[in-house]
Amino acid sequence: GAKSIIIILYQVLTRHVSRFRKWASPKAYAILNVIEQVAWGAVAFLGIQANMKSCSGTGCVLSWVVVVLAIILSMVSTLTAFITISDYRYFR
């Protein structure tokens, strides 16, 4: 949620706004993207675990939607983490 928005905002601003470029760091991008991947993976795992324990009604459907979205975001975050780590190693 908010953590992801802050991380994306940091990356976009430090790449595209000259005023914030002094805080740009490929190493920070790599670390933040790895944290993002782990966090979304944890959300998916905990959501599945909670749904298997008890799930009923509309809340159950919404909870499974969150799990599916978390899995998708985890997969996308894995790709971005791989790319930023590769960039960091290449441009070091």
Contact 83, 30 (CB under 8 A): no
Record the pTM. Answer: 0.84
Give 72's pLDDT tier (boundaries 50, 70, 90). very high
More confident residue, 18 or 1: 18
- pLDDT tens column, 23-64: 999 999 999 999 999 999 999 999 999 999 988 888 899 999
Q: Which of 11, 29, 7, 32 is nearest to 21 (CA)?
A: 11
Compute the distance between CA of residue 39 and CA of residue 43 in angstroms, rounded to an integer: 6
∠ Cα 72 26 76 (to 5°): 5
Please work out, in degrees rounded to the nearest 5, the angle formed at the alpha carbon of residue 50 by the alpha carbons of 5 and 52. 135
